[in-house]
Amino acid sequence: MSYFTFRGETLHAEDVAVSDIAAEHGTPCYIYSRAALEASFLAYGDALAGTDHLVCYAVKANSSLAVLDVLARLGAGFDIVSGGELERVLAAGGDPAKVVFSGVSKTADEMARALDLGIHCFNLESEGELEALNCVAAEKACVAPVSIRVNPDVDAKTHPYISTGLKENKFGLAIDEALAVYQRAAQMNHVEVVGLDCHIGSQLTDITPFIDTLHRLLELVDRLADIGITIKHLDLGGGLGVTYRDEQPPSVADYMDEVRRVLGDRPLKLLFEPGRSIAANAGILVMRTEYLKSTADHHFAIVDAAMNDMLRPALYQAWMDIQPVQRRSGGHLTTWDIVGPVCETGDFLGKGRELSLSQGDLLAMFGAGAYGFVMSSNYNSRPRAAEVMVDGTAVHLVRRRETLEDLLRGETTLTES
């Protein structure tokens, strides 16, 4: 079900006309739906009912405080990849005891803060990280809960930039290396082995790579048990795909049913780290058409959003659906390249779109709730967009648009004369 739907000819976010939000808060503007976030998060809990589990939303997909707040109220755990994300989770009211800390390179300061807060688990990616964490925990005379991220060498069959489970990737440790690192961990006084984790990639539209991975992880759990190391939880990462165009990813329910079937009655707690599948279709990016420009063989619709606001088309050649906020019946269709004002040929949001467009029209990009605002920058000295959360008929401005003053904050010219 979508929470961004046309009522008559007018696009709504839940019960609010998108054009009303644009009139009040300007463009470009990200709009999130609280109900959509809740529904996609709760789908995991429903599918895992009766199984010991923790769903840790991957903060990097969309780290707005309001998004984290909505999920924290539902009892979500959080998967973080930096100390900054940890502070966001705290500021939004998230429970640190439900935080897992991922990422290839956690600093000693980040480890110390996470230990003080008593996070659920450190997902370690190298022996170096394990040694460092043991030292930090020793200084605090405490014991750090750890899991090792394994790289199962499974092809997630997704875009190379978002595929992370092949042996040539920088992420995780090969299964045999992991075994040795687990043995090392078991000898340490200030870490406790609690889990085993992986994350093989993003935007997966097939269950098979997940299940192949699960089988490989279970083999490792058994090998570890043989040498006296008990794994209490299995963290299968995130990665479930969403529909941007015509992809048909498995439902959360189908994926979880298959996982539970393979797991059988093993006494393992299940963790997941979904990001995209929770946030992507809970957000749109609204923009206004500034100019229409035609060259010998192209029609360009130049909009006020750009690659600095939404990087996915430029970075991943991602196809994102773009539709007028106000549908016009019987309009003349033209094939448009929808581009931003940034001085880069790679600055496009959509190519070859058949639309009936006039200067000043509002457009909405769908599926923009994940890996959208979080990847935005100030390139070309463009202030970042406003973010709004809709909840039924209520509209909350959850991040005001940046000002030109914000752009210069923290900078100085040379002070010498």
Ligand X SMILES: *Cc1c(COP(=O)(O)O)cnc(C)c1O
Q: Could you give the residue numbers annotated as active site?
A: 343
Tell me whether residue 274 is annotated as binding.
yes
Work out how close the CB of 17 gets to ligand X at its nearest, in angstroms, rounded to a whole number. Answer: 30
The pair of structure tokens assigned to 375 is 């990847």
The pair of structure tokens assigned to 361 is 């029209």
User: Over the Cα atoms of the chain, what is R_g?
Assistant: 23
Work out how close the CB of 199 gets to ligand X at its nearest, in angstroms, rounded to a whole number. Answer: 4
- For ligand X, the closer of residues 61 and 310 by Cβ is 61
Alpha-carbon distance of 378 to 309, in angstroms, equals 8
- For ligand X, the closer of residues 57 and 336 by Cβ is 57
Is residue 187 within 8 Å of residue 229, measured between CB atoms?
A: no
Work out how close the CB of 129 gets to ligand X at its nearest, in angstroms, rounded to a whole number. Answer: 14
Tell me whether residue 245 is annotated as binding.
no
Give CA separation, 286 vs 19, 78, 194, 318, in Å.
9, 28, 44, 17
Tell me whether residue 172 is annotated as binding.
no
Amino acid (1-letter code) at residue 113: R
Q: Does 62 bind ligand X (CB under 6 A)?
A: no
Residues 127-146 binding ligand X (CB under 6 A) are none
Work out how close the CB of 184 gets to ligand X at its nearest, in angstroms, rounded to a whole number. Answer: 22
For ligand X (CB under 6 A), the number of binding residues is: 15
The pair of structure tokens assigned to 78 is 């959080």
The pair of structure tokens assigned to 391 is 């909840």
- For ligand X, the closer of residues 250 and 275 by Cβ is 275
- For ligand X, the closer of residues 271 and 306 by Cβ is 271
Tell me whether residue 273 is annotated as binding.
yes
Tell me whether residue 371 is annotated as binding.
yes
Per-residue x/- marks for ligand X, 68-87, CB under 6 A?
-----------x--------
From 47-55, 58-66, 205-213, 301-309, give the range in contact with ligand X by CB under 6 A.
58-66
Q: Does 58 bind ligand X (CB under 6 A)?
A: yes
Q: Does 233 bind ligand X (CB under 6 A)?
A: no
Considering only 165, 239, 350, 367, the residue that binds ligand X (CB under 6 A) is 239
Work out how close the CB of 241 gets to ligand X at its nearest, in angstroms, rounded to a whole number. Answer: 8
CA angle 371, 30, 66 (to 5 degrees): 80
Alpha-carbon distance of 321 to 286, in angstroms, equals 12
Tell me whether residue 239 is annotated as binding.
yes
From 35-43, 47-55, 237-245, 383-391, give the range in contact with ligand X by CB under 6 A.
237-245
Considering only 77, 172, 195, 238, the residue that binds ligand X (CB under 6 A) is 238
How many Cβ atoms are within 10 Å of 201's Cβ, its own excluded? 26
Considering only 28, 96, 152, 237, the residue that binds ligand X (CB under 6 A) is 237
The pair of structure tokens assigned to 416 is 């010498």
User: 3-class SS at 144?
Assistant: strand
- For ligand X, the closer of residues 107 and 335 by Cβ is 107
Q: Is the dihedral of CA 241, 245, 251, 254 positive or negative?
A: negative
List, in sequence order, every residue forming a beta bridge with 350; answer none if it has no partner. Answer: 338
- For ligand X, the closer of residues 274 and 350 by Cβ is 274
- For ligand X, the closer of residues 27 and 164 by Cβ is 164
Is residue 347 within 8 Å of residue 379, measured between CB atoms?
A: no
List, in sequence order, every residue forming a beta bridge with 357; answer none if it has no partner. Answer: none
The pair of structure tokens assigned to 242 is 């969403």
Residues 270-329 binding ligand X (CB under 6 A) are 273-277
Alpha-carbon distance of 323 to 19, in angstroms, equals 13
In sequence order, which ranges of 238-279 are alpha helices (DSSP H)?
252-263, 276-279
Give CA separation, 92 vs 64, 72, 368, in Å.
9, 7, 21
Residues 92-121 binding ligand X (CB under 6 A) are 102
Read off φ and ψ for residue 149, nearest 5 degrees: -85, 120
Which residues fall within 8 angstroms of residue 355, CB to CB, at 6 or more apart? 301, 322, 323, 324, 333, 334, 336
Tell me whether residue 312 is annotated as binding.
yes
Give CA separation, 414 vs 129, 267, 411, 417, in Å.
39, 62, 10, 8
Work out how close the CB of 282 gets to ligand X at its nearest, in angstroms, rounded to a whole number. Answer: 13
Residues 190-219 binding ligand X (CB under 6 A) are 199, 202
Work out how close the CB of 38 gets to ligand X at its nearest, in angstroms, rounded to a whole number. Answer: 17
* Residue numbers belonging to the annotated binding site for substrate: 276, 312, 316, 344, 371
Per CB under 6 A, residues contacting ligand X are 58, 60-61, 79, 102, 199, 202, 237-239, 273-277
* Residue numbers belonging to the annotated binding site for pyridoxal 5'-phosphate: 239, 273-276, 371
* Residue numbers belonging to the annotated binding site: 239, 273-276, 312, 316, 344, 371
